[in-house]
Amino acid sequence: MIGATPAPVVLISFTIWFFVLQLCHAQVLPQLGTTPYIKHIVVGRCYAYTTIVNPSLRYDCEEIWREFEEAVIHRSSCNVTVDHYYQLFNAMPESWPCDRFLFWSKTRTLMHSYAAIFRHFWTLEDTLVGYMFNDLVWCGQDEDSGSVFFVCPLWSACRNHPVYSLWRKASQNFAEMACGNITVLLNGSIINAFNRNSMFGSVELDGLNPQRVDHVNIKVVTNLEGPRIESCHQGSIADLIQILQSRGFRWTCSDHDETLMMLQCIQDPKQRSCQTCANRLLQPKSLSFN
Ligand SMILES: *[C@@H]1O[C@H](CO)[C@@H](O)[C@H](O)[C@H]1NC(C)=O
Ligand SMILES: *[C@@H]1O[C@H](CO)[C@@H](O)[C@H](O)[C@H]1NC(C)=O
Ligand SMILES: *[C@@H]1O[C@H](CO)[C@@H](O)[C@H](O)[C@H]1NC(C)=O
């Protein structure tokens, strides 16, 4: 018997390896595949939205899920177009009051705190469709197995990615609805703050209607620690202004918005550029954001 591994030991070590492999899968795959429990999440968020966030709205959440499934089911993962979501968007018509639309590109974290403080701002994530599908991943269903694909292709891998197509349609609707003064939050610490390939540059900008929009108020924000690469007069933002002008929009652009800087300083008060800001913050009247 010496030298031979007893069967139970083999079994145990196999079991351990099996668990290790399972753990690895559990940690890696959900990010690439359809979000687990997606139906429960989407339908649950829909009910949360229509009963708590925005109780004045009447939507049929089960119907919305059916239309979503209809759009995605039986289509290969790279073959779901914007048009396939037509019925889904029909099932949840939305409109928002003017002067509240906030657009952003590469400023997600700051945008969230900005929108949280100025409660009157609306971003795409505040719309029903944005609220329901935020951070979720899904892809088409396999005809044969009838199950949602476990591994989804990257957005960049195909033109008609189901996730991309949904956000494209949602962004387009959001932009087409925009009216009054709108705000655009851009990141001056990167090259191409205004990027023609971003959702804002490729979809939303084209959806804006100069007859409905009074002013496009651009705010360029740089990281407190820098670098300051782009500004209202420099780089791609100048291109954006050119496009707005040629399409007949009125616009403003600021690259030193005090409120935005205060927000950044609250999160990171030790930055040197916050010293003057901090002195002002010590005066109680400046603490009010209204
Ligand atoms: C994509 O969809 C079209 C029609 O909607 C269909 O003709 C085509 O075969 C589909 N392609 C793939 C790869 O599934
Ligand atoms: C600008 O973009 C960089 C890189 O994506 C990011 O790390 C930084 O937080 C962004 N800055 C702001 C103010 O959003
Ligand atoms: C719209 O923006 C312009 C330019 O920033 C400003 O003068 C005007 O007061 C704003 N109107 C409203 C209703 O906020």
Summarize pLDDT for 10-39 with one digit per residue, the tens: 444 433 333 333 333 334 443 478 888 999
Identify which ligand lies nearest to the alpha carbon of 81. 1
74 found inside a domain: yes
Strand order in the sheet with 250-254: 102-105, 180-187, 213-221, 250-254
Separation CA 247–CA 241 (nearest Å): 10
Question: Cα(164)–Cα(59) distance, rounded to whole angstroms?
Answer: 24
The protein residue with its alpha carbon nearest to ligand 1, atom 9, reads 79
Q: Is residue 116 part of a domain?
A: yes
Report yes or no on 222 lying in a domain. Answer: yes
Query: What's the mean pLDDT in 147-165?
Result: 78
List all residues whose CB is within 6 A of at least one atom of ligand 2: 106-107, 109-110, 187, 189-190, 221, 223
d(CA 121, CA 194): 21
Structure tokens at 143: 């005809």
Q: Is 158 known to be catalytic?
A: no
Helices 61-72 and 38-48 cross at an angle (nearest 10°) of 140
Assign 268 a pLDDT band (cuts: 50, 70, 90). Answer: confident
Query: Which atom, in ligand 3's list, is nearest to the CA of 180?
Result: 13
Give the residue numbers spanning the domain of 102.
31-281
Domain count, the chain: 1
> For the domain that residue 88 is a member of, what is the CATH number?
3.40.50.720
Check whether 253 has a pLDDT greater than 90. yes
- Would residue 277 count as lying in a domain? yes
Asked if residue 165 belongs to a domain, the reply is yes
User: Relative to the CA of 250, which ligand 3 atom is closest?
Assistant: 4
How far is Cα 25 from Cα 46, in angstroms, rounded to an integer?
A: 30
Distance CA 279, CA 113 (A): 21
Q: Is residue 26 part of a domain?
A: no
Q: Is residue 247 part of a domain?
A: yes
Question: pLDDT at position 180, please?
Answer: 96
Residue 120 lies inside a defined structural domain of this protein? yes
The pTM (predicted TM-score) of the whole model is: 0.81
Residues paired with 44 in a beta bridge? none
Residue 98 is among the residues annotated as catalytic for this protein:
yes
148, 112 Cβ separation under 8 angstroms: no
Ligand nearest to the CA of 225: 2
**For residue 199, what pLDDT is reported?**
93
Closest CA to ligand 2's atom 5: 106
Token pair 């009447």 is found at 58
